[in-house]
């Protein structure tokens, strides 16, 4: 196993972290025996960072991790979980949730505690409830070590949050298709320049980059170094010196074994310029397979009618690129029980305000009705029918 600095903290973390959101299941429940075997194998082979969250596996991930860390395993890892901000309705909920999580995880202290899934709305909500003062208190009490946040929004919001507090850790989505998505490369470098440990989630885009369409697989097959698509994706992230740990949500023992071996070959600057060029060609090939030339820069936002234009394009493009339209439609239509209905692309009134700001000159007012027809109404995707 290779180890990397964890921001400014006096600790080195394994290059590979175990994300406990996609543990093996049987009939919708965690396969406890197999999940514990996988966690123990990872720890026994050098993984020392475990990441879980309150809602993972419908609330069963934290208790499972707590049971897995008995028998001396707890002392061998840094344990991270998250305050579920969307379930906070009053300041008293901060303590209530943390105390419940400590009990579920069978520990008196969390090594890393993150505010979960911050975007502008959630950040402003918990900030105004006094979460920063509360974090000061739980750090002083010893119940929590390093504090940070996980993030899903645009770079300006990320920068605002980074600058708002003495964070030690941030967790961002990052992979070779997402250099300009959400925090992106700018966010990675900015956080690292501020001394934060950067934890990367979705290095394989929810597993989509673990396999490859024929055109991309041909690039991997012709490369001078043989790697699986998954290892190409992971090594690309590990190649960045600003990255502290890369989380993988592993569902099988084979994935654990492969990723542990891959982590042992990892390092900042390990990929040659030729290999980086191959990854760039893979990215270009994926993008050529996408539906719309959107880079998710966000210049089109805000939409006066509330449509999340970049998210709509990203959802459609992922469905098309990876042949996963059912998943894309589910993501497009899904909302959490405690959230208001999502404003869908059908709410576009073709005002064209966004088009004046789009660097790619995309006819967004024509794309939104088409995207809704495909994602919201189930119309088959037809590349020839796409707006030009």
Summarised one tens digit per residue, pLDDT across range 310-352 is 889 989 988 998 888 999 999 898 754 444 567 899 999 999 9
Over residues 183-235, the pLDDT tens digits come to 999 999 999 999 999 999 999 987 888 888 889 999 999 999 999 999 999 99
The pLDDT assigned to 340 comes to 55
Give the chain's domains with CATH numbers: 3-279 (3.20.20.100), 291-385 (no CATH)
User: What pLDDT, on a 0 to 100 scale, did the predictor assign at position 337?
Assistant: 45
Q: What average pLDDT score do residues 270-295 get?
A: 91
User: How confident is the model over 245-266, as a mean pLDDT?
Assistant: 96
* Predicted pLDDT of residue 343: 84
User: Looking at 77-86, 105-114, 181-190, 341-350, which range is the least confident one?
Assistant: 341-350
Report the distance separating Cα 200 and Cα 249, nearest Å: 11
pLDDT: which is higher, 267 or 288: 267
Give the model's pLDDT for residue 101. 97
3-class DSSP state for residue 198?
Answer: strand
Q: What is the pLDDT of the chain when averaged over all its residues?
A: 92
pTM of the model: 0.82
Which three-class secondary structure state does DSSP give residue 249?
A: coil
At 288 the pLDDT is: 86
What integer is the mean pLDDT of 165-192? 94
25 CB-contact burial (10 Å; exposed 0-12 / middle 13-18 / buried 19+): middle
* % of the chain with per-residue pLDDT over 70: 97
Using a 10 angstrom Cβ sphere, with 0-12 exposed, 13-18 middle and 19 or more buried, the burial of residue 198 is buried
What pLDDT score was predicted for residue 341? 62
Beta bridge partners of 96: none
Alpha helices, DSSP H, located in 239-354? 253-264, 273-289, 309-321, 325-333
Residue 265 is predicted with a pLDDT of 96
> What are the CA-CA distances from residue 207 to residues 9, 221, 318 (Å)?
30, 19, 12
Quick one: what percent of the chain has pLDDT higher than 90?
Answer: 77
Residue 296: what pLDDT? Answer: 74
Statement: residue 20 has pLDDT above 90: yes
Average the pLDDT over each of 6-15, 36-45, 188-197, 324-333 and give the range with the smallest value. 324-333
């Amino acid at each position: 196993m290779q180890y990397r600095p964890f921001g400014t903290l006096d600790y080195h973390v394994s290059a590979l972290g175990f994300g406990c959101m996609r543990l093996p299941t049987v009939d919708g429940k965690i396969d406890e025996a197999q999940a514990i075997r996988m966690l123990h194998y990872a720890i026994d082979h050098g993984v020392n960072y475990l990441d879980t969250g309150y809602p993972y596996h419908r609330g069963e991930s934290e208790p499972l991790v707590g049971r897995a860390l008995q028998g001396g395993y707890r002392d061998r890892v840094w344990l991270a979980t998250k305050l579920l901000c969307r379930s906070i309705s009053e300041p008293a909920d901060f303590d209530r949730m943390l105390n419940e999580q400590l009990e579920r995880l069978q520990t008196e202290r969390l090594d890393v505690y993150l505010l979960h899934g911050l975007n502008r709305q959630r950040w402003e909500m918990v900030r105004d409830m006094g979460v920063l003062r509360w974090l000061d208190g739980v750090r002083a009490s010893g119940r929590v070590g390093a504090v940070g946040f996980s993030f899903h929004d645009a770079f300006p919001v990320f920068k605002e949050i980074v600058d708002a507090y003495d964070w030690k850790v941030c967790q961002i989505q990052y992979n070779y298709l997402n250099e300009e998505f959400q925090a992106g490369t700018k966010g990675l470098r900015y956080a690292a320049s501020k001394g934060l440990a950067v934890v990367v989630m979705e290095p394989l885009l929810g597993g989509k980059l673990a396999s490859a369409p024929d055109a991309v697989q041909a690039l991997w097959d012709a490369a001078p170094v043989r790697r699986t698509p998954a290892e190409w994706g992971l090594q690309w992230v590990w190649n960045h010196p600003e990255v502290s740990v890369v989380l993988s949500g592993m569902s099988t023992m084979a994935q654990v074994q492969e990723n542990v071996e891959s982590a042992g070959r990892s390092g900042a600057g390990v990929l040659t310029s030729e290999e980086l060029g191959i990854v760039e060609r893979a990215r270009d090939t994926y993008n050529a397979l996408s539906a719309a030339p959107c880079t998710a820069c966000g210049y089109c936002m805000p939409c006066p009618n509330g449509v999340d234009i970049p998210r709509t394009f990203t959802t459609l493009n992922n469905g098309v690129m990876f042949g996963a339209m059912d998943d894309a439609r589910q993501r497009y239509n899904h909302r959490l029980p405690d959230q208001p209905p999502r404003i869908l692309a059908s709410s576009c009134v073709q005002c064209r305000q966004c088009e004046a700001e789009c660097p790619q000159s995309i006819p967004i007012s024509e794309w939104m009705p088409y995207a809704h027809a495909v994602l919201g109404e189930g119309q088959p995707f037809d590349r020839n029918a796409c707006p030009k």
